[in-house]
Structure 1
Amino acid sequence: MQIARDVDGSGNYLILTNNHVAQLQPFSGYGVQSHKLGLPEWVVFNEYALSENSLRTVSEISPQMFNEMAPMYFFYNLPPSESKDILQVMLDFEESRRCTKKQTTNRNSDRSCAAGTQTDKCVIQ
Structure 2
Amino acid sequence: MEKQKYYINLNPISMDDISPTKIGDGQLIEYEIEATETEKKDLANLLHEVQKHDLELSNLFSFEHFDQSKTDIDQEEYQKGMDDVYEALYRLGTPETKRIIEEIHLRNREH
TM category (shorter chain) comes to 0.3 to 0.5
The TM-score with structure 1 as length reference comes to 0.29
Which fold has the larger relative contact order, with Cα–Cα distance below 8 Å and residues 6 or more apart in sequence?
A: 2
- Bigger share in helix: 2
TM-score calculated relative to the size of structure 2: 0.32
> Which is higher, the Rg of structure 1 or of structure 2?
1
